[in-house]
Amino acid sequence: MAGISTDLIRGHTNTIILNILSQGDSYGYDIYKKIIVLSDGKYELKEATLYTAFRRLLKDGEIESYWGDESQGGRRKYYRITEQGKQTYEQNKEEWENAKVILEQLIKGGIGHESE
């Protein structure tokens, strides 16, 4: 089965990351793997894009970072969603639902229901 166009995902990277972090704290490579799993292997976020998004989300106060416990192997930087990030995620999810409805109408809909 074909993958999804990067153009369709662009603009939703932050929301995808916030979704994953709303389910629990995680680190970069784990988030990268979860995106592949969530998309059934149809989408792979480039590492550079992922870390650029982390920087943007940190700067905007949507997520926080902290260093994990070194006893679990290498020291990892973990990310957690903030209250602001949770609010942004809910707002973005609502906007996505509205956009899906409008796109469905624009792409599949036909003319013929005009007002008289």
Pick among 1.10.10.60, 1.10.10.10, 1.20.120.1200, 3.10.20.310: CATH of 6-110: 1.10.10.10
Angle between helices 13-22 and 83-108 (to 10 degrees): 130
Residue 85 burial (C-beta neighbours within 10 Å; 0-12, 13-18, 19+): buried
The pTM of the full predicted model, rounded to 2 decimals, is: 0.85
Q: For each of the chain's 116 residues, which pLDDT tens digit applies?
A: 467 777 778 889 999 999 999 999 999 999 999 999 999 999 999 999 999 999 999 999 999 999 988 776 678 999 999 999 999 999 999 999 999 999 999 999 888 655 54
